[in-house]
Amino acid sequence: MHNTDPPGKEKKMKPTTCYRCGARLKQAKVKMEGVELKCLRCQECGEELFTAGEMLRYEVLTGKSPARKFFTAGNSVAIRIPASIVKKKEIRPGKDLAVFDVMPKGLLIKVIHTDEDRS
């Protein structure tokens, strides 16, 4: 299984030939752990190529990447932060702030630590 997108690089062009044997690729669907994924499959050697988006979808749906559903709390849309991220970023509920940056591919949440108990 190979990712067709080089890391950190936007690529709009889809590969049309196999990087291993040079044969034509054809759109196909595969089922992995109950998740149906679109891929490009080599007609000759059977190599399957997945886009980064499809890989992420697979990781989220199989629980390999932490994913949380948005929900409403009063008039606001809220999201629960996975405990592993809270620990890693040392988020202190009731004290720290979250600021948001809208990015082309999603949302960046910056954690601002308040200094009230650090002085």
Residue 49 interacts with Zn ion (CB under 5 A): yes or no: no
Cross-strand bridge partners of residue 112: 97
Residue 20 interacts with Zn ion (CB under 5 A): yes or no: yes
Residue 18 interacts with Zn ion (CB under 5 A): yes or no: yes
Cβ 27 to Zn ion, closest distance in Å?
Answer: 15
Residue 98 interacts with Zn ion (CB under 5 A): yes or no: no
* Nearer to Zn ion (CB atom), residue 45 or residue 112: 45
Residue 47 interacts with Zn ion (CB under 5 A): yes or no: yes
Cβ 26 to Zn ion, closest distance in Å?
Answer: 11
Residue 21 interacts with Zn ion (CB under 5 A): yes or no: yes
User: DSSP per residue over the chain, as a string?
Assistant: -EESSPTT----SPP-B-TTT-PBEEEEEEEETTEEEEEEEETTT--EEE-HHHHHHHHHHTTSS-----EEETTEEE-PPPHHHHHHTT--TTT-EEEEEEETTEEEEEEE---TTT-
In the complex, which residues of this chain contact Zn ion (CB under 5 A)? 18, 20-21, 23, 42, 44-45, 47
